Structure 1
Amino acid sequence: MSKLLPEFPWDRLEPYKATASAHPDGIVDLSVGTPVDPVPQLVQQALTDAADSPGYPTVWGTPALRDALVGWSRRRLGATGLTHRHVLPLVGSKELVASLPTQLGLGPGDRVAYPRLAYPTYEVGARLAGADHVVYDDPWELDPDGLRLLWLNSPSNPTGRVLTADELRRTVAWAREHGVLLVSDECYLELGWEAEPVSVLHPDVCGGSYDGLVAVHSLSKRSNLAGYRAAFLVGDPAVLGELLEIRKHGGFMVPAPVQAATVAALGDTAHVTEQRARYAARREALRGALEANGFRIEHSEASLYLWATRDEPCWDTVGDLAKHGVLVAPGEFYGDAGARFVRVAFTATDERVRAAVQRLGG
């Protein structure tokens, strides 16, 4: 089965990581984009309080968790008319992205589409199912023949691009016209900087109907819960109901303490505001240092990354920065169109960001 997959991209970065790690002041790792700040105290407390959970959790989650998912989606996404049937917990969003085509029953002859510059796991999911995969610039220009799953990603990983409400509406209309399931990866939705991301489930986009639409959300970035593997789906109850039945058989269960922690995290906005402020300061510092070092920043109006280029092959940029002890991700990881870009995460600690700025001459 592994022969169906491309080389794991991060393995290719290891030699550059070794170079960066040899810097006298240590590595500044701006590549993967893993959270480094503390888990909010109220979330830690909720996890601890639920630690005595000897029984099996349910795949659909507790009623309290489903209430929290519905309530947050109403408040933050503007989604209306939601019930428990419109939500489904996930064991982190990556497992869903990698397994969704298989869980939907896709296979040879079916096609999965995703943006030309995109998170590599969209392709992985198609390959694992034995389905074909195709990239797009504008989704409504795709050939709908055999297309079963259309991925959107706004804000984008890696570019930070935000799709407008008009672009989302046009894509929703096109997908519905051609009977294509549209799944919108919105894991960075709460991290808009120069644009306000809109969910595909907002009534201005979907017309108040969730037919053929599913949105993916995660607490990894907004609440520093990457280590908890806490995420969820919101959308078409017919699609989510089918996935629920399949996932029951597969045992895709979010641990009970993590369910309790998710309820606490979704019920609080103070820690989100505090974390946004941290990221905003780091983003400003790194952007200034990169631009002073000859980089051009494109898109990057949202998410946790700066999409940067010096108009040279991305591996040359990676190698040069590694000599300064700074590790970034080559744009090639996200598609051939990224071959002259690097993705720079601003998830390092304040101290490490200051080190990077100093090394870049900022």
Structure 2
Amino acid sequence: MFPERFSNLPAYAFPRLRALLDVHAPGGAVRHMSIGEPKHAFPGWITDTIANHAHEFGKYPPNEGTPELRAAIRDWVYRRYDVMLDPDTQVMALNGSREGLYNAGMALIPEAKNGQRPIVLMPNPFYQVYMISAISVGAEPRFVPATAETGHLPDFASVGPEVLDRTAAVYICSPANPQGVMADESYWRNLLALAEKHDFQIMADECYAEIYRDTPPVGALQVAKDMGIDPERVVSFHSLSKRSNLPGLRSGFVAGGPETIARMRQLRAYAGAPLPLPIQRASEKLWAEETHVTENRALYRAKYEMADELLGHVPGYLSPQAGMFLWLPVPDGEAATLHLWQQTGVRVLPGAYLSKDVAGANPGHGYIRVAMVAPYDETREGLTLIRDTLYR
């Protein structure tokens, strides 16, 4: 009755977490540090913008985004990456980056690559939508370790030329969720050269690109432009959820070559839900305004430093370069998560829930992911409990 390709999917991370924890009483006041839902204040003027345009809820919005929104995105990409895009052919608004990451597979992955079933490569650990997008179009997801041994970024060249020749797309997240590392220019250059040699597209999930410690992450579009790479080679995804602390706004964008965006627009015309016009008006202003982003980044920088202070002594501790998570080493992530919950009420996520078992091993087994999204004092209390419970 149901498609066979969906019959053996693992449960999504958060239902698994509820099944693990909710049958046990918390050992203290509940502190949610499992999900990356930003808790910093969003700009207050956003509510006024939405209210001022509330009458536009009575209109059908354009699928691809208003000309004004696409122009604001073009201007931001130019300021941030020194890349000039055509807003009419190279940009499309999204209901958050997850929609685009999924639909990119639907629109762009071919039915066959070099006469065989196509492969989609992705890091392990990974954001589950990458896998589901591949499976939905009948492609084979392949999981490439992103571990301490590889600098917590996947070494896609390690899969070998026979796999790369079947590869239609590569998903890569930078800054990485959950590890908080950034792909540097050399990494992007190597990956782009690999994509050129073996003819696949790079799906660059850059939704955390505006949350970093000191140096802004290099962007995939930026390096591709500098290398003179075909614009169709890179598809870049961004979101206001993290940049502007507005996960409920469900607003982001995808940028890429004209043919890529045309294919994604065609799919969206049939199967997508455009952003309501008041949300698009608010998004225009958010992409154009940087003060709130700078302030938000300073809040995260203070929490990075606090995490280093509290947990820097832990063997294998990974000081985050960017993003909103800690990737903390433990003997067994699931056991540590349960123990922490029962002892303190702090709720984190086992690393194995973000990873795939490959050849009997799971690269997330020995980790927990901790979201540092709450205000400073709440985060400090939670991290202190984690330190005193798991690392003393």
Residue 335 of structure 2 aligns with an amino acid whose one-letter code is D
1:141 equivalent among 158, 177, 187 = 158
* Residues matched between the structures, number: 359
Hey, what's the Cα distance between the residues in 2 that align with 1:222 and 1:282?
A: 16
**Once the two structures are aligned, what percentage of the paired residues are identical?**
28
Tell me the CA shift for residue 63 of structure 1: 0.7
* Partner residue of 1:313 out of 329, 332, 335: 332
Give the match's secondary structure for 1:170.
Answer: helix
Deviation, structure 1 residue 338: 1.3
Query: Of residues 68, 87, 91 in structure 1, which corresponds to 2:95?
Result: 91
Which residue of the partner structure matches residue 113 of structure 1? 121
SS at match of 1:61: coil
Instruction: Give 1:15 deviation, angstroms.
Output: 4.7
Tell me if structure 1 keeps the 8 A contact 2:109–2:169. Answer: no
TM-score with structure 1 setting the length? 0.92
Aligned residues: CA RMSD: 2.2
Give the distance between the partners of 1:139 and 1:3, measured in 2 at CA.
Answer: 28
Structure 1: give runs of 5+ residues left out of the alignment. Answer: none
Q: Give the 3 Å change call, closer, same or farther, for CA 20–351 of structure 1 in structure 2.
A: farther
Give the Å deviation of 1:175.
0.5
The 10-residue stretch of structure 1 (180-189 or 1-10) with the greater mean CA deviation from structure 2: 1-10
Summarize the Cα distance change of 1:86–1:326 in structure 2 as closer, same or farther, 3 Å threshold: same
**Equivalence map 1:154-169=2 (5 Å):** 154-169=174-189
Change (3 A) 1:183 1:146: same
Please tell me the residue identity of whatever aligns with 2:94. Answer: L
CA distance in 1, matches of 2:353, 2:215: 25
Residues 61 and 274 of structure 2 are in contact (CA less than 8 Å); yes or no, is this contact kept in structure 1? yes
Letter in 2 for 1:111: I
- Cα 1:212/1:204, change in 2 over 3 Å: closer
Instruction: Find out whether 1:343 has 2:369 as its counterpart.
Output: yes
| Aligned: 1:126 with 2:134 | yes
Alignment of 1:215 onto 2:240: no
Asked whether 1:243 is paired with 2:264, we answer yes
- 2:311 pairs, out of 290, 306, 312, with 290
Instruction: Give me the whole-angstrom Cα distance separating, in 1, the residues matched to 2:109 and 2:196.
Output: 19
TM-score normalised over the length of structure 2? 0.85
The answer to whether the 8 A contact 1:200-1:206 is kept is no
In structure 2, runs of 5+ residues without a counterpart are: 145-153, 356-361
CA-to-partner distance for each residue in 1:24-62, whole Å, 9 max, x for gaps? 4x2111111101122211222222211111111011111
Q: Structure 1 residues 287 and 316, CA, compared in 2 at 3 Å: closer, same or farther?
A: farther
2:15: which partner in 1? 11
Name the SS of the counterpart of 1:221 in structure 2: helix
Matched, 1:69 2:73: yes
2:34 maps to what in 1? 31
Q: Secondary structure at the match of 2:303?
A: helix
Contact 1:172 1:206 in 2 (8 A): no
The 10-residue stretch of structure 1 (314-323 or 227-236) with the greater mean CA deviation from structure 2? 314-323
2:336 maps to a residue whose letter is: T
2:212–2:297 Cα contact (<8 Å) kept: no
- Secondary structure at 2:164's aligned position in 1? coil
| Code of the aligned partner of 1:43 | I
Alpha-carbon contact 1:164-1:198 (below 8 Å) kept? yes
